[in-house]
Structure 1
């Protein structure tokens, strides 16, 4: 992709460029999805750690990014190198994430609370060094309203493919080699995949896809960016809606293996059922991108969220062993959930463009850092609240559970997430940025910057002024 100033309208990315940009998402999903999907189940039932301790430790590991997320975002905005601003950080975070993922998924020696906490903190530090610059890079690839949805849709498709691989490869290995059918074996396979694919896929993207060069004004202090964010109503509305949705979806992911094993008595079918869930995620993604073009991003987001809120409580109707209705309910939730990440990220890119034009500074990294921090905090709360809640009601994966303790698991996974989805819808209905508003504000900022250029040239005695970011 040829470099171009951020102020000029860029042509749509080619399919090969979209593939290149999506590759890191596949690799990163391999390393992070098992943390909520497998680790609570594996470290409690198989390794013997207390489920309440696991929830609190995983929450603490995510909250440790309170410092690292804003720091990495601000530093990547200010980085100068031959590789650009974003790509050096992605390369630096890759080996750290590789090592931490393998140590978590294939632990050796004595496994204690300290072991789980240490490697979880290092995993999320590596994730921060990769994903905050990576998502900031994505927000800068295009100024076009619909092209951003296309970019985030492709990236999310690679993420969904990573989700499927987390399940498909162990399921296939179990069928062919009788290894991979349970969580402990699946994690060893996934850890080996992460060791190989993280450097290969991230390295390929960094090598083959240039960053978009941007003409920028002098950097503004990071605290000034934070003050701007706190006054940015569009960002705050979107941020609140996204974090509530993330809290709900992460709760389901955290509890799914426990629910399938103890409430549904379908442990051996858990991975194939999840495989179906992520498959319909991918199948549904083009529909949600299409629908967002027809009715708007906010409206399409609310439709998908509403379907999830109405469908999830149906888990309460299931009896142990009822695999077909379980699969159908999960598939509907998966299809509806295909819109969540892609549309949220596209809407966030719109917000970041307007913030960048308003401040005439690079703010993508700072916004991504705050977004990531909020996302991690809510996901930490999902683990840190749901698992101790089960422990409070007496549920213990290491012991025989009573019907009341199983019911606590059933009600937690069936009712808490839909309540969060409905709260997110109430908030997101206030999100104000649509296609027309974005184009109107973009034009206003371009006229402002053109006027300032003319004024600066006039004051300099007619010499051409330096082109400012956001001018056309």
Structure 2
């Protein structure tokens, strides 16, 4: 197992660096891209929702395949680094094509480019997240590495909100549109990846794993069926992220159409949210090591959805009211990103305790699978529901449209997520139990080597 004392802060920062760009990708996929193709490219909202749902579902199916192949990789550079080095050039190309489509494209372009984008994304992100699970294997260490990585991600989101506000007014006449924002941020993603990926591959440690004969995908999945904590957490994560996908799919429409704010105002709101997230991150990390990551996840997730109910009290000064709502939600935001992958990584050792193998990438791929399936279903269902209930982003807003947006953006997300939170309040793998499992594994490994 990796010795935490031998992993320097510089090495962890090098590992975390690529997440700055990857978080910008996630932000654009969730908050901007569906709206861009529906509002500016002219693809109907129902078709956009359907294509994004299909593409994310395809991506979710690809993730376990990539995870298993990464687990089976043996090289002098480890199990993860070769995949990242191989996949990053294609990923940067598809990022540009996806976020900057030529004029006049339609449904076919969106479908093909979305599918290719998600394949290259899986080749990079699954080995990358799994790499972090192997740098540290203890409870507090995993909290640390996940916090640094997701903290870099939050910093990336701050960059993504500041750059358009600062640079686009100097580059574009009038009010910048979604295409302008996506152009600037796609270029930013590519530049950051070109710098941080080589740095991470060179400086960050490979991490260590228990050697075992490589297993095929279905054999490895079969062994995981007895891992009940993993299955329980995956179901909970799916439900929580489904609620989040409902909210994120329509929040830009709610802010611009429902509150009457500009798209540039939305950038300031997101900036407020993630600045608060950076401030609150150390608080949540300390609390996680005190009461458990699963409890912190429940508190933060429900707090996040409850904070958005503040929109009901936003009065005439819509911008100030929205800032306060986003500040409250931002305080809760780190929990949703930091805790789930660390909790899932802990189930790797539990699976080994039950006779499984050290397949961290497949575990994290299953986490990504349920996360992306939730996002796929959330985008498709939320946009279709809003459209069927009377909201049309290409027409003047109506009271019926406002009601549809409130239902999909504010009411349903928290109700959906509550079920997932109830499922994991008494989650069995605590810090104490994880330490016992690791000690037992160490004794078993020592006995096998005698």
The CA deviation at 1:381 is 0.8
CA shift for structure 1 position 130: 0.7
Larger radius of gyration: 1
- In 2, the alpha carbon distance for the partners of 1:365 and 1:29 equals 19
* 1:193-272 matches, cutoff 5 A: 193-267=188-262, 268-272=264-268
Query: Does residue 1:57 correspond to 2:51, yes or no?
Result: yes
Name the residue aligned to 2:9. Answer: 15
Give the Cα separation in 2 of the matches to 1:195 and 1:219. Answer: 34
Moved more, 214-223 or 99-108: 214-223
Unaligned runs of 5+ in 2: none
Alignment of 1:294 with 2:270, yes or no, is no
1:351-387 deviation digits (Å, cap 9, x = unpaired): 1233235436331111122111111111111111111
Q: Say whether residues 1:439 and 2:435 are aligned partners.
A: yes
CA distance in 1, matches of 2:78, 2:441: 26
RMSD of Structure 2 on Structure 1 (CA): 1.9
Candidates 357, 378, 382, aligned match of 1:361: 357
**SS at 1:355's partner residue?**
helix
Q: Does 1:25 align with 2:22?
A: no
Unmatched runs of 5 consecutive residues or more in structure 1: 1-5, 455-472
TM-score norm. by structure 1 comes to: 0.90
**Map of 1:70-109 to 2, 5 A cutoff?**
70-109=64-103
Going by fraction, where is helix more abundant, 1 or 2? Answer: 2
Question: Do the aligned partners of 1:51 and 1:388 also contact (CA within 8 Å) in 2?
Answer: yes
| Superposition map of 1:136-155 within 5 A | 136-155=130-149
Q: C-alpha distance in 2, partners of 1:316/1:51?
A: 26
Decide whether the 8 Å contact of 1:76 with 1:89 is kept in 2.
yes
Residue in 1 that maps onto 2:161:
167
- Please tell me whether residue 348 in structure 1 is matched to residue 348 in structure 2: no
Distance (Å, rounded) in 2 between the aligned partners of 1:56 and 1:142 = 39
Matches within 5 A, 1:368-407: 368-407=364-403
Q: Could you give the per-residue CA deviations for residues 45-85 of structure 1, whole angstroms, max 9, x where no partner exists? A: 21211011101101111111244212111111111223221
Q: Identify if the C-alpha distance between structure 1 residues 244 and 160 changes in structure 2 by more than 3 Å, giving closer, same or farther.
A: same
TM-score, L = length of structure 2: 0.94
Equivalent-residue separation in structure 2 for 1:244 and 1:20 (angstroms):
33
The answer for the alignment partner of 1:460 in structure 2 is none
Q: 3-state SS of the aligned residue for 2:427?
A: coil
Number of residues of Structure 1 aligned to a counterpart in Structure 2: 448
CA shift in 2, pair 1:202/1:300, >3 Å: same
> Does the 8 A contact of 1:264 with 1:319 survive in 2?
no
